[in-house]
Amino acid sequence: MQADDNYGFDILDVKIIKEHTRTRWMAKEILLFEEIESTNVKATVLAGSGASHGTLVLANSQTDGKGRRGRSWHTPRGTSIAMSVILKPQLEAEYASMLTLIQALAVVKALEEKYGLQSQIKWPNDILIHERKICGILTEMNLKGTQIASIIIGTGINVNQEKFPQEIAQIATSLKRENGQVICREVLIAAICEKFEYYFELFMKNKELSFMLEEYNACLVSAGRKVKVLDPKGEFTGEALGINKHGELLVRTAEGEVVNVYAGEVSVRGVYGYV
């Protein structure tokens, strides 16, 4: 998609998204809102009201976008992607976190395929270009008793922004900044949906990530680098080795022990100011 393809720059067009989306079930239902609090919040409500598996929720602007650990996500009108997909899989709760990694790889591969942009994954939910953040992913699970009622995967992408608030100006970038062109958000949304459906169906066969380990680890910004892990059990440092088939980050400590990190904050030396 070239710079002169400016349709959809200000207001998303669902028709264009559907024209470019070649999927079996993903994004067959698309709901677009001009301004809402959060696509994840809206998707959760819609999922509880009967929205179907694969429903895509979009917003042209978010007033209170959600990030991990209660952080906010900046979503200026008309220049970003704010999307959440509703999933209702036959899946045990312990597997839900792996879907964040699947979506991350889907975004990376869509950017590479459509625009030739080489991006990297900061485990588990950030996408970087030149070690600046362009995308964040938030997966939330809703239970009915002990069973999964729905899983919501929210994705925020900096697409055509020129400027960022001062507090994130040093760590954020946009696709337009990196590519030098206006990016058609509709085409990118369609490409991400196609990639996610492909990886999700492979995942559901065995409920593990062996099929994508090589691709994912090749994109992992922390691979072979020093990381600091803010583990619930205590902070430690080590060298990141990659992920395993369960989506855990493998970190080798100074003592030579390999620790499987399932949850927690992981800082990568040289990224986001960690030195």
Q: What pLDDT shows up at residue 57?
A: 98
Q: Do 105 and 199 form a contact (C-beta atoms < 8 A)?
A: yes
3-state helix, strand, coil in the chain (%, to 5): 30, 30, 40
Q: What pLDDT shows up at residue 2?
A: 33
Tens digits of residue pLDDT in 158-190? 999 998 888 888 999 999 999 999 999 999 999
Gap between the Cα atoms of 9 and 170, Å rounded: 25
Tens digits of residue pLDDT in 212-225? 999 999 999 999 99
Tens digits of residue pLDDT in 50-61? 999 999 999 998
Amino acid at 169: A
Does the global pTM surpass 0.75? yes
Q: Do 64 and 91 form a contact (C-beta atoms < 8 A)?
A: no
Name the pLDDT band for 6 (thresholds 50, 70, 90).
very low
Tens digits of residue pLDDT in 199-216? 999 999 999 999 999 999
Q: What pLDDT shows up at residue 3?
A: 34
Residues whose CB falls within 8 Å of the CB of residue 46, separated by 6 or more in sequence, listed in order: 31, 55, 57, 86
Q: Do 21 and 190 form a contact (C-beta atoms < 8 A)?
A: yes
3-state SS, residue 68:
helix
Gap between the Cα atoms of 272 and 265, Å rounded: 13
Domains of the chain, start order: 14-217 (3.30.930.10), 222-268 (2.30.30.100)
Kindly report the backbone phi and psi dihedral angles of residue 113, in degrees, each rounded to the nearest multiple of 5, phi listed first.
-70, -40
Q: Which among 128, 156, 154 is positioned nearest to 268, based on CA atoms?
A: 128
Going 179 to 159 to 157 to 74, the CA torsion angle's sign is: positive
Q: Is the confidence at residue 145, as pLDDT, over 90? A: no
b/e 33-48 (16+ beta carbons within 10 angstroms → b): beebebbbbbbbebbe
